[in-house]
């Protein structure tokens, strides 16, 4: 069971988002920030959103974790950008995994983390912008 076996479990899309992650970084004046972590594997995700007129106009992430954690963070930013907050709230871990052409079962928790981070960022935004 060398490294080649592990890599074979990942789809080309996962590898692409791991090696060329989209929307990396932070948004200094973010409207909402979500931070989630998984103590078991040590993954930590920060997700930053800019919201204009109820639409996520910009989204960035910083993830410290395994390749799947980085790939799922990258993919969820791609899925969520341009969506309304209501649409973004409905993005599930299944949506993230499907968009990446699947994840090995042992890594499904990473897509869960990404979905949770997005929800946390939206919650943070809603808390700050209660009308």
Catalytically active residues are: 41, 110
Task: List all residues 6 or more positions away from 14 whose beta carbon is below 8 Å from its beta carbon.
Answer: 67, 68, 71, 100, 101, 103
Q: How far apart are the first and last CA of the chain?
A: 55
Report CA torsion sign: 71, 102, 82, 113.
negative
Distance CA 58, CA 75 (A): 14
Helix (H) or strand (E) holding 33: strand 32-38
Q: Spell out the alpha helix ranges (H) of the chain.
A: 3-8, 12-19, 67-80, 85-89, 93-99, 108-128
């Amino acid at each position: 069971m060398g490294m080649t076996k592990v890599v074979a479990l990942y789809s080309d899309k996962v590898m692409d988002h791991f090696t060329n992650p989209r929307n990396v970084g932070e948004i200094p004046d973010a409207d909402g920030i979500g931070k989630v972590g998984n103590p078991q594997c040590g993954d930590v995700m920060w997700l930053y959103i800019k919201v204009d007129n109820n639409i996520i106009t910009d989204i960035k992430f910083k993830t410290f974790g395994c390749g799947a954690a980085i790939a799922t963070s990258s993919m969820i930013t791609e899925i969520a950008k341009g969506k309304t907050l209501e649409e973004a709230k409905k993005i599930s871990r299944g949506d993230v995994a499907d968009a990446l052409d699947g994840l090995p079962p042992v890594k499904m928790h990473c897509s869960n983390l990404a979905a949770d981070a997005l929800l946390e960022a939206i919650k943070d935004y809603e808390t700050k912008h209660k009308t």
